[in-house]
Amino acid sequence: MIKELRNKTKLISVTGLGYVGLPLALEFARYFKVIGFDTNKERIQLIKQKKDPSKELVPSDFEGCDIEFTDNPSDLTQAHFHIIAVPTDIDKYKVPDLKPLKEASAAVGKVLKMGDVVVFESTVYPGCTEEECLPVLEQQSGLTGGRDFKYGYSPERISPGEKNRTLSKILKIVSGNDEEALELIAEVYDAIIKAGIYKAKSIKVAEAAKVIENVQRDINISFMNELAIVFDKMGIDTTEVIEAAGTKWNFHTYRPGLVGGHCISVDPFYLIHKAKELGYNPKVIAAGRTINDMIPQFIGEKVVHFLKKLEKDPAKCRVLVLGIAFKENISDIRNSKVIDLIHELQSYSMEVLTFDPRVTRNDLKQVHNITMVTKPEGLFDAIIIAVPHDEFKGLEKQDLEALANGELVLFDIKGIKNKEDYQYYWRL
Ligand SMILES: NC(=O)c1ccc[n+]([C@@H]2O[C@H](COP(=O)([O-])OP(=O)(O)OC[C@H]3O[C@@H](n4cnc5c(N)ncnc54)[C@H](O)[C@@H]3O)[C@@H](O)[C@H]2O)c1
> Is 215 within the bounds of a domain?
no
Find the 174 Cα to ligand 1 centroid distance in Å.
Answer: 18
Position in ligand 1 atom list of the atom nearest CA 121:
10
pLDDT of residue 325: 97
Reported as a pLDDT band with limits 50, 70 and 90, residue 55 is confident
Task: Give the mean model confidence (pLDDT) for residues 215-240.
Answer: 98
Position in ligand 1 atom list of the atom nearest CA 334:
19
Q: Does pLDDT of 407 surpass 90?
A: yes
Find the 178 Cα to ligand 1 centroid distance in Å.
Answer: 26
> Is 130 within the bounds of a domain?
yes
Q: Does pLDDT of 355 surpass 90?
A: yes
Residue 122 Cβ < 6 Å to ligand 1 = yes
> Is 218 within the bounds of a domain?
no
Residue 86 Cβ < 6 Å to ligand 1 = yes
Q: Does pLDDT of 162 surpass 90?
A: no
Please give the C-alpha separations between residue 338 and each of 219, 228, 287, 313, in angstroms, as whole numbers.
19, 18, 21, 22
CB atoms under 10 Å from CB of 393, counted, come to 13
Same-domain status, 257 and 127: no
What is 19-84 written as a DSSP string?
TTHHHHHHHHTTTS-EEEE-S-HHHHHHHHTT--TTS---GGGGTT--EEEES-GGGGGGEEEEEE
Residue 35 Cβ < 6 Å to ligand 1 = no
Find the 121 Cα to ligand 1 centroid distance in Å.
Answer: 9
pLDDT of residue 160: 84
How would you class 199 by CB atoms within 10 Å of its CB: exposed for 0-12, middle for 13-18, buried for 19 or more?
middle
How would you class 414 by CB atoms within 10 Å of its CB: exposed for 0-12, middle for 13-18, buried for 19 or more?
buried
Which residue's alpha carbon is nearest to atom 38 within ligand 1? Answer: 18
Of 201, 218, 247, the residue that ends a domain is 201
Residue 261 Cβ < 6 Å to ligand 1 = no
In the residue annotation, 263 being an active-site residue is answered as yes
The one catalytic residue among 65, 128, 263, 317: 263
pTM of the model: 0.94
pLDDT of residue 344: 98
pLDDT of residue 161: 82
> Is 213 within the bounds of a domain?
no
Give the phi and the psi of residue 316 in degrees, each rounded to 5.
Answer: -110, 10
> Is 80 within the bounds of a domain?
yes
Same-domain status, 268 and 398: yes
Position in ligand 1 atom list of the atom nearest CA 263:
43
Q: Does pLDDT of 308 surpass 90?
A: yes
Output b/e per residue, 45-64; b: 16+ Cβ within 10 A: ebbeeeebbbebbeeeebee
Find the 16 Cα to ligand 1 centroid distance in Å.
Answer: 6
Same-domain status, 182 and 34: yes
Residue 90 Cβ < 6 Å to ligand 1 = no
Q: In what order do the strands lie in the sheet with 197-199?
A: 67-70, 34-37, 11-15, 79-84, 117-120, 150-153, 172-176, 197-199
Cα-Cα end-to-end distance for the chain:
53
Q: Does pLDDT of 54 surpass 90?
A: no
pLDDT of residue 395: 96
> Is 345 within the bounds of a domain?
yes
Residue 11 Cβ < 6 Å to ligand 1 = no
CATH of the domain at 315: 3.40.50.720
Same-domain status, 269 and 379: yes
Residue 22 Cβ < 6 Å to ligand 1 = no
Same-domain status, 106 and 146: yes
> Is 338 within the bounds of a domain?
yes
Find the 400 Cα to ligand 1 centroid distance in Å.
Answer: 38
Find the 53 Cα to ligand 1 centroid distance in Å.
Answer: 12
Same-domain status, 12 and 156: yes
Q: Does pLDDT of 285 surpass 90?
A: yes
Residue 156 Cβ < 6 Å to ligand 1 = yes
Position in ligand 1 atom list of the atom nearest CA 122:
41
Find the 70 Cα to ligand 1 centroid distance in Å.
Answer: 16
> Is 216 within the bounds of a domain?
no
Which residue's alpha carbon is nearest to atom 24 within ligand 1? Answer: 16
Same-domain status, 168 and 284: no
Residue 73 Cβ < 6 Å to ligand 1 = no
Same-domain status, 32 and 81: yes
| Integer Cα distance of 276 and 224 in angstroms | 26
Same-domain status, 11 and 147: yes
Same-domain status, 162 and 284: no
pLDDT per position as a tens digit, 183-210: 999 999 999 999 999 999 999 999 999 9
Which residue's alpha carbon is nearest to atom 28 within ligand 1? Answer: 100
Same-domain status, 387 and 277: yes
Find the 301 Cα to ligand 1 centroid distance in Å.
Answer: 35
Q: What rounded mean pLDDT belongs to the chain? A: 97
Reported as a pLDDT band with limits 50, 70 and 90, residue 422 is very high
Residue 17 Cβ < 6 Å to ligand 1 = yes
Same-domain status, 118 and 257: no
Number of domains in the chain: 2
- In terms of residue numbers, what domain contains 151? 2-201
Residue 24 Cβ < 6 Å to ligand 1 = no
